[in-house]
Amino acid sequence: MTDARAAALHERLLDIAGPDPSAAERALMVRLIENFLRKVPAMLDHLERTLAGDDPAEARTAAHALRGSASNIGADGLALLAGAVEDEIRAGRPPSPAAVTALRTETDAVCPLLTAAAGRLSG
């Protein structure tokens, strides 16, 4: 699965920056990746707090934001999981604890790949 994750991330980064990005484009990509890496833990924490606090509207918004951020950066698996959580909330069903755990697990798998991509873009 890591190869599929890495391929999806690579493809998305190529979509954004092109096959031969300039130094300025590489620097922008690094900033985008770093911004995602900095924000995603807080986004997950916020989602978990709103679910625990029984605030479905805010939880749906949090899941939607996570889905969009993950999709934008090419973290397709994370986007799908966040979308599934969002869909459950929208349907009036609380997502299972396993679904929230899966979000954390996928984030833990994707973040090192993004860190490595940022390193390659910087070097």
Q: Where are the domains of the chain?
A: 2-122
pLDDT at position 2 is 66
Whether the CB-CB separation of 106 and 83 falls below 8 Å is answered with no
Q: What is the pTM of this model?
A: 0.90
Size (the chain), residues: 123
| pLDDT digits 0-9 by tens, 54-75 | 899 999 999 999 999 999 998 9
How many CA atoms lie within 13 Å of 117's alpha carbon, on the beta-carbon side? Answer: 29
CA distance 67 to 57: 15
CA distance 117 to 105: 19
CA distance 93 to 62: 16
* Of the options 1.20.120, 1.10.10, 3.90.1720, 1.20.5, the CATH number for the domain spanning 2-122: 1.20.120
